[in-house]
């Protein structure tokens, strides 16, 4: 399937005092969005800043921390579909607290 124009892919899940929030990257590879209340009130939030800093340190790529319990088949399937990738993060990803 892959990403198409205006597709969003979850990069990181955060546990915060206001709930569980997801930062997503648009198919353009540059635009971030977050579903936290702070992001809704303004165009930036601490979750997006966290992701952006990590991306800048890694040449524009966000390194996802996954458990070794995730199989290569899981990773291959996740690379083809944003919904499968989101589920991979939920099942095996590191949840950040900022």
pLDDT digits (tens, 9 = 90+) for 56-94: 999 999 998 999 999 999 989 998 999 999 999 999 999
The pLDDT of residue 18 is 87
Judge whether 73 lies within some domain.
yes
Judge whether 76 lies within some domain.
yes
Task: Count CB neighbours of 34 within 10 A.
Answer: 23
Judge whether 97 lies within some domain.
no
The pLDDT of residue 30 is 85
Judge whether 98 lies within some domain.
no
Q: Using DSSP, state whether 15 is helix, strand or coil.
A: strand
Judge whether 15 lies within some domain.
yes
The model's pTM = 0.84
**What domain range includes position 15?**
8-92
CA distance 53 to 42: 18
The pLDDT of residue 2 is 54
Judge whether 78 lies within some domain.
yes
Judge whether 24 lies within some domain.
yes
CA distance 81 to 78: 6
User: In the chain, how many domains are there?
Assistant: 1
- The yes-or-no verdict on residue 4 having pLDDT over 70 is no
């Amino acid at each position: 399937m892959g990403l198409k124009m205006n597709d969003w892919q979850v990069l990181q899940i955060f546990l915060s005092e206001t709930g569980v929030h997801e930062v997503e990257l648009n198919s353009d590879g540059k635009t971030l969005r977050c579903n936290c209340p702070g992001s809704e009130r303004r165009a930036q939030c601490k979750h997006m800043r966290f992701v952006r800093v990590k991306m800048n340190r890694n040449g524009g790529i966000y390194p996802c921390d996954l458990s070794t319990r995730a199989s290569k088949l899981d990773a291959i399937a996740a690379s083809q579909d944003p919904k499968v990738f989101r589920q991979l993060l939920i099942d095996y990803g590191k949840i950040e607290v900022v």
